[in-house]
Amino acid sequence: MSETVGAPDVVVIGSGVGGLTAGGYLARAGLRVALYEKHSKLGGYMQYFGTEPTWDSDTHLIPGCGPGSWFHDLLAEIGALRRVELIPLEPAFRILLPQDDVLVPADGERFRAELSAAFPAEAEGIRRFFTDVNRIGREFLALRHGPPTEGPAARYYDRTAADLLNDTVRNERLRAILAATWQFGGLPPTQLSALQFALNFHLYHQQGGPCAARTGVKALSQALAEVITEHGGSVALRARVTRILRERGRAVGVELEDGTRVSCRAVISNVSPHETFERMLGGNAGPAIRYAPLQFVTSISAMQVHLLTDLPAELPARTTLMCDTNALEDAWSGLMRAEPMFGAFVCSILTHGDPERAPGKTMVSLMALQPYMREDRWHAPWDARRGPLYRTLPEYQTQKEAFGDRLVEAAERLIPGLRQRTLARRVATPLTMERYTFNTAGAAFGWANLPQQCGPYRPGPETPIRSLFLAGHWTFPGGNIPPAMMSGRFAAEAALKYLERG
């Protein structure tokens, strides 16, 4: 088939939250938008799977949901806020360390006061820490224009989270508490960008507290897609884009897997830069395009175990950040070596605050950072990693289930009897992440959140090809739902500016 179909103004490739947000902005601005998603479900890392109850594939905790927050205001701007019911979370989450069990309040100032009371000798350092990270968070979006020249962002834009912590507080237990969200950044504090760490801290603690979407994140992806379709756009599933068409240095359309060609005035790619530049623009698609960030380091991936149980949901928070040592670098090393197997992981109770999602049952999701190259791509041949074949390989299945067993075993420290009371179980590996999202190497955070790859160094939406723009966690401001949504807004603004120039 080589049919050419009608000409939208903008084609969006991929339905991650960045692509959906970009499409929503452009559709509301009066442009004709066509979004193409290769999978049978919307959302990228924000997709769901299974039948009732449905499971969130990744995102269980949305940071910063209060009025004035990035998340709240972005949803409101494009008309999606009224379409999704958000569940405020109190406590925000739980931190479980060897000597500390902390229920983190949703209010950041209350959290600061409680830490100051628990560590009175560190009260001034705690004050300076909160002041610095919150100023970085408030001023973060200005970093898209270049390195900062003053304030804490200027001091830390090329330094690590450990540097920021060491400059403000001395107590090791306190540092471990403040750094507990390192698992949401994909690196230990000694490697994690101070700016990205500060942004995450600010989003979780100073933008109204985290929330969850009732019935799961599918409600959020569906709400964003409805904005596109209700403003005259289209959203197509099972429609994989294989080529970006170009003429005279401009993107002029896309070609689908079935040969259908779609002409347009601009393209927004919400898939990985590797997929965009090496596959859709490489090979037989035309002369190679040099995109400098392809030299960046890709982030770590993760594995997950999803459990439906008949246990009562008795944990005090929806999400628990578990780490069996205050030496967070050691926890990271253990995850990389698989010794100890799961000394750090995240446990989320999806029915916490949303019991009607699975009446009489408890839905548990466990997540642990894991390298894509574990045992040579989890015993899967290179050419089998993106299709269904790898799932049939005995070596892969054996390792996947063994790792799942050990993650559940680790979680029984939180939920005794979890294995015996499990009714259904699904295990996902980095190969699962790559297959369903096409994020290179199952990258959970796009580019790794190293100092030299975050803040002013993170690439923006513009590319060497006029009328081709990028959105998603590979671009500024980075990973997590609100930043990825903001990247979609920036991509939409860049596309609009280009189209207005004609």
- CA diameter of the chain: 72
Task: Provide the whole-model pTM.
Answer: 0.94
248 contacts: CB under 8 Å, gap ≥ 6:
none
Q: How far apart are CA 287 and CA 277, in angstroms?
A: 11
Task: Give the pLDDT means over successive 10-residue stretches in the chain (502 positions).
Answer: 67 98 98 97 87 75 93 96 95 98 97 99 98 97 95 97 98 98 97 98 95 91 97 98 95 97 98 94 66 93 95 90 96 86 92 91 95 73 63 81 94 94 94 90 96 97 96 97 98 98 80
3-state secondary structure of 211: strand
182 neighbors 189 (Cβ within 8 angstroms)? yes
For 459, the token pair is 């690439």
d(CA 317, CA 88): 12
Distance CA 91, CA 319 (A): 9
Backbone angles phi, psi at 200, to 5 degrees: -60, -45
Round to whole Å and give the CA distance between 241 and 230: 23
At 337 the pLDDT is: 86
Q: Say what the pLDDT of residue 1 is.
A: 34
Residues 6+ apart with CB under 8 A from 95: 101, 102, 104, 177, 180, 320, 321
In the structure encoding, which two tokens stand for residue 501, read together? 């120039």
DSSP result, 28-82: HTT--EEEE-SSSSSBGGG-EESSSSPEESS---B---STTSHHHHHHHHTT-GG
- For CA atoms 136, 480, 494, 294, the dihedral sign is positive
Is residue 410 within 8 A of residue 341, CB to CB? The reply is yes
- Which three-class secondary structure string do you get for 392-449? HCHHHHHHHHHHHHHHHHHHCCCCCCCCCCEEEEEEECHHHHHHHHCCHHHCCCCECC
């998340």: which residue's tokens?
71
First to last CA, the chain: 32
* Domains of the chain in sequence order: 4-86+215-296+451-501 (3.50.50.60), 105-206 (1.10.405), 300-442 (3.90.660)
Q: Which pLDDT value is given to residue 51?
A: 72
Phi, psi of 24 (to 5 degrees): -65, -45
* Bridge partners (DSSP) listed for residue 343: none
Q: Is the dihedral of CA 171, 173, 174, 180 positive or negative?
A: positive
197: helix, strand or coil: helix
CA 32/CA 30 separation, integer angstroms: 7
Q: Phi and psi of 337, rounded to 5°?
A: -90, -15
Instruction: Kindly report, residue by residue over 167-178, the tens digit of the pLDDT.
Output: 999 999 999 999
Q: State the pLDDT at residue 6.
A: 62
Paired residues of 261 in beta bridges: 4, 255
Beta bridge partners of 254: 244, 262
Side chain identity at 438, as an amino acid letter? F
Reported as a single tens digit per residue, the pLDDT across 9-52 is 999 999 999 999 999 999 999 999 999 999 999 999 988 887 77
* Helix boundaries (H) for 316-379: 328-337, 375-379
Alpha-carbon distance 327 to 17, whole Å? 34
Whats the size of the chain, residue-wise? 502
Q: Write down the pLDDT at residue 2.
A: 43
Residue pair 362/312 in contact (Cβ under 8 Å)? The answer is yes
In contact, 317 and 91? CB cutoff 8 Å: yes
Exposure class string for 8-30: b at 16+ Cβ within 10 A, else e: bbbbbbbbbbbbbbbbbbbbbbe
Q: How does DSSP classify residue 300? A: P
